[in-house]
Amino acid sequence: MPLVKIYLDKGSQHAKQRADPARKITDLIVKETGMPQQYTWVMIHEIPEEDWIADYLTVTELKAKLSGARK
């Protein structure tokens, strides 16, 4: 039984935005494995921004850094 876990920053996606990719991932697994769709599970975990770290920065800090770089 395929299990796909997706991690997003908390509050970044509303329910429809989370459901659409989950359905597409399910479709891809069905296509590639031939398994029935009900065998595929997609779990979406929402993690607070302060718990994501990239390049020594939290997501909040990284967004601020990237926002400043675009100006």
**Residue in 66, 54, 17, 63 with CA at minimum distance from that of residue 6:** 17
Give yes or no for residue 69 having a pLDDT over 80: no
Distance, CA of 24 to CA of 27 (rounded, Å): 5
Q: Which domains does the chain have, with CATH numbers?
A: 3-70 (3.30.429.10)
Model pTM greater than 0.75? no
Each residue of 16-41: pLDDT tens digit? 888 898 999 999 999 999 999 999 99
pLDDT of residue 52: 87
Q: Is the pLDDT of residue 71 over 60?
A: no
